[in-house]
Amino acid sequence: MRAPRPFLALLALLALPGLAQDGEEPAVRVLPVVVTARRAAADPFEEPSIVHLLEREDLQRQLIRTLPEALWDVPGVMVQKTSNGQGSPYLRGFTGFRTVLLVDGIRLNNSVFREGPNQYWNTVDPLSLDRIEVVKGPTSALYGSDAIGGVVQAFTREREEFELDLDWDVSAYARAAEAERSVMSRVQFEGNVGREYGFLGGYSGGYFGDVRQGSGSVQDKTGGYWQQAGDGKFTLFPAEGAKLTVAHYEFDLNDAWRTHTTDQGEAFHGTTVGDDRMRRLDQDRRLTYAAIELERESPLFDKFRATVSLQEQREEEKRERADGRRERQGFRVLSPAVSLQLEKDSPAGKLAYGTEWYHDEVSSFRIDIDPRRTARTREVRRIQGPVGDRASYDTLGLFVQDEIEVFRDFVTVTLGARYTHVWLDAGEVEDPVTRREIRISEAWPSVVGSFRTLIKASENWHLFTGVNQGFRAPNLSDLTRFDSNRSGEIETPAPGLDPEHYLTMEAGSKLRFLPFEAQAAYYYTRIWDMILRQPTGRTIGREREVTKANAGDGFVHGVEGEFVAHLSDRVRWNAHISWQESVVEQFPTSAPVIEKDNLSRMAPLAWGGALRYTHPEPSWYVEISSRFAVKQDRLSPDDARDTQRIPPGGTPGYAVLTLRGGWQVNDNVRVTGAVENVTDANYRILGSGQQEPGVNGILATEIRFP
C-alpha cells in the first residue's frame, strides 16, 4: 500500500516545473566534454550516439557507495546486486563480460570475467573518481571484444590547480549511512611545484554492516565486509603541449558474502534460501601505469597518447557446505598492457587510430576439505580453480576511425574499423567427465566496423543513426570454468566455442534549446552465436551441471530517453525512461531442442525524475528524486531456475522516493545528506540476491585544509 505515495510524488515532480519563477534567467552554462565515445574530446551533443556524463558534483550529490551505484539514474542501466559488496550494471540488457569498464583508458576486463553479473566493478574506489562517462551500445570498432552493451570509463582525480608556484591541500571526507550500517572515509593530499609538477594521493576505507531492508528487519546477518584503497598520481608537464602521468592504485575488499546461497539468506516473495553455512569472497586489485600525451602538429598526429600499464587482480573464495565440506579457491591475473592512440585533423577527415595489446597470465587453485574423511584423504587439491590453471590470454587490436563532414555544418559521417586477434592457452584444465587434466588452445581473428551519421537539422536539433558491429571472443571463463554460478548449478569447461557476433541499428535525436535539453533513441541489436549456459542433465555433487554452447541467435531492442530543464539559475528538473525486450534461441533443458525465449534478466520498464533547487549565497541545495520499475515477469529459462534470486512469476515492481540536500558552509567545509527510500519500500532489483536498504539516512562531510 506504500506505492501510491511515490506515484503521487512523481506527479508532483511533473507539475513542479510550472512553479518556477518566470523572472529569473538561466545562468550561463559551461558545456561538458567527453572523450570515450570517439576516443577524442567532443561535446556530447555532437556525438551520433547516446552518451551520459557524471561529473564530480553529480557523484558528490549522489553520495555513492560503489561505482555501479553511481549509474542508478542513467536511462537503460539496471544495477544488479548479488550481495551488498557485489554490484553489476546491465547496459541495454548486457552485463559482466559483455560490457567494458575502463579506468583512465585501461581495461578492467580480463579473461576470467564470467557470464552474467559479477563483482569486479566494485574494486574501483568511488571516492577516487573525478567523473564517469557512459556510452551505450556496441563499440567494438573502438574498444574491441566485450563492448556489446556499452562502455563505461571512470576517470580518476588529479591535481588541477597550478596558480601558485608552491601549493598543497589536505582534505578529509566521511560518510555514514544508517540502513546500510556503513561508514566510509577518505584522506587526500595534493599539491604542485610550479606549473610543471603536480601530485594527488589518498587513502580510503569503509565498513559495510548488516543491511536493514524496507520491512524493518535485518536481512543480512553475516557481519558485513570491509574495504580499503590507496592511490597516487604524479603529473609532469615537461614542455608546452606535453604531459606525463604516472599513477598507482590499490583496492582490497574483504569478507563479502554471497548471502543468497547460504542459510543466512532471506526469502523474498517466494524465493528459496540457500543451505551453505558460509560463502565469502576477497577481492584485490592493483594498477600501475605511465602515460605520455603530446599535442603538436606533425605529419602523423596532432595528438598522441601512449600508455604502459600493469594490472593485477586476485580473488579468493571460502565456502562451507551444509554437510560440512569446505572449499577454498581463487585465481590471480597479471595483465601487462601497451596502447598507442593518435589523432589527426587531415584533409580526409578527423582521424583517430592506434593499437593496443593486453596479456593475461592466469593461475588458479582449488582445495577441497572434507572433515568426514580420514586425515590422508581429507584435503584434495584440484587440477584447477574457477578457471584453468597455468593459462594465458592475449588480445591484439588495430583500430581506425574517420569523422568526415559530407555536407558542411549539416551531415557528418563517422566510419570505424578494427582488427582483433585473440589467443588462448590453458595448460591445466579438469575434464568434467574423466576428471583428468587436459589442455585447451584456441585463436580467433575478427574484423568489425561501424557507420554512424549525425544530421544537424538546426543548431539546436540533431538527428543521428548508426550501424555498429560488435563481437566477443570466448574467454577463459567460457572455455575452462569449473565453478558454481546460479542457484544450485555448477558450470563445467566447454572447449570449441566460437566468437559471438552482434549488429546494432540505432536512430535517435538530441535537442539543446537552452534551457531545455533532451536525447532519445531506439535501438535494435541482432545477436548471432551468443554463448549461453546449457543444462547437461548430469549432477556433480548436489548441483546441476551446465556447460556452454553457441546457441543464442535472437535480438534485443528498446527505447530510452532523457529530458533536462534548467528552469532558472536555481531550478533544474530532469526525467528519464527506458524499456527493452528480447527474444533469443536457447536450450531450456538438457534435450537438444531449441526454444525462443527472453534473454536473462531483461530490465523492466523503468522511469524516474528529480527536481533540484540551488541557492547561490549562502550555497545550499535541496532535491527530490524518484525511481520506478514495473514488475518483470518476462523470465528466461535461466531466470526461472535462479530460485534464490528471482521470485516465482517474476520480480515485483517498486517505487522509491529520495530527498537530498547539501550546504557549502564556507570555502573549506561542505555537508551533504540524504534520506533514501523515504517510504521504506521493501524491494529488490531484478536478479539481485538481496533487498535494497529501507529508509536510509546518509550524512557526509568534507573538510579541506588549505
| 220-258 confidence digits (pLDDT tens) | 566 689 999 999 999 999 999 999 999 999 999 999 999
* Local structure of 275: helix, strand or coil: coil
Cα-Cα end-to-end distance for the chain: 51
Q: Is the pLDDT of residue 486 over 70?
A: no
> Given this model, what pLDDT does residue 149 score?
96
Please say whether the beta carbons of 179 and 694 come within 8 A: yes
pLDDT band at 662 (very low <50, low <70, confident <90, very high): very high
* DSSP β-bridge partners for residue 377: none
Share of the chain above pLDDT 70, in %: 94
Q: Output the pLDDT for position 2.
A: 38
For residues 438 and 433, what is the distance between their CA atoms, to the nearest angstrom?
11
**Model pLDDT, residue 408:** 85
Query: Torsion angle of alpha carbons 451, 92, 422, 534, nearest 10°?
Result: -130
Pick the more confident residue, 68 or 492.
Answer: 68
Q: Output the domain CATH number for residue 193.
A: 2.40.170.20
Gap between the Cα atoms of 513 and 511, Å rounded:
6
> Per-residue pLDDT tens for 96-127?
999 999 999 999 999 999 888 889 999 999 99
Structural contact between residues 584 and 595, judged by C-beta atoms closer than 8 angstroms: no
In this model, does residue 417 exceed pLDDT 50? yes
Q: Is residue 3 over pLDDT 50?
A: no
Opening angle at CA 592, ends 586 and 596, nearest 5: 25
The predicted structure's pLDDT at residue 533: 82
pLDDT for res 545? 83
3-state SS class at 395: strand
Binning pLDDT at 50, 70 and 90, where does residue 376 land? confident
SS (H, E, C) 558-599: EEEEEEEEECCCCEEEEEEEEEEEEEEEECCCCCCCCEEECC
The whole-number pLDDT of residue 10 equals 36
CA neighbor of 134 nearest in space, from 210, 55, 211? 55
Q: What is the pTM of this model?
A: 0.93
Average pLDDT value over all residues in the chain = 91
Residue pair 342/352 in contact by the 8 Å Cβ criterion: yes
Q: Per-residue pLDDT for 19 more than 70? A: no
Strand partners, 363: 332
Q: Which of 352, 345, 424 is nearest to 390 (CA)?
A: 424
Among the residue ranges 35-49, 315-329, 615-629, the one predicted with the least confidence is 35-49
Task: Report the domain count for the chain.
Answer: 1
- Radius of gyration of the chain from its Cα atoms, rounded to whole angstroms: 25
Element (H, E) at 57: helix 56-62
Is the pLDDT confidence value at 608 over 80?
yes
What are 199-217's pLDDT values in tens digits? 999 999 999 998 999 877 7
In eight-state DSSP terms, residue 112 is T
Cell 593475461, residue? Answer: 360
CA atoms 435, 475, 332, 322: torsion sign:
negative
At 534, give phi and psi (nearest 5°). Answer: -135, 125
140-162 exposure pattern, b = at least 16 Cβ within 10 A, e = fewer? bbbbbbbbbbbbbbbbbbbbeeb
Domain hosting residue 366, numbered range: 4-705
**pLDDT given at position 219:** 61
Tell me the per-residue pLDDT of 126-180, one tens digit each, with 9 for 90 and over: 999 999 999 999 999 999 999 999 999 999 999 999 988 899 999 999 999 999 9
Higher pLDDT, 543 or 341: 341
**Of 143, 66, 65, the residue nearest 101 (C-alpha):** 143
Whether residue 401 contacts residue 351, with contact meaning beta carbons closer than 8 Å, is answered with yes
Confidence of residue 542 (pLDDT cuts 50, 70, 90): confident
Alpha-helical (H) ranges within 223-323 are none
**417 touches 400 (CB < 8 A):** yes
Widest CA span in the chain? 84
pLDDT attached to residue 26: 40
- What does DSSP assign to residue 667? T
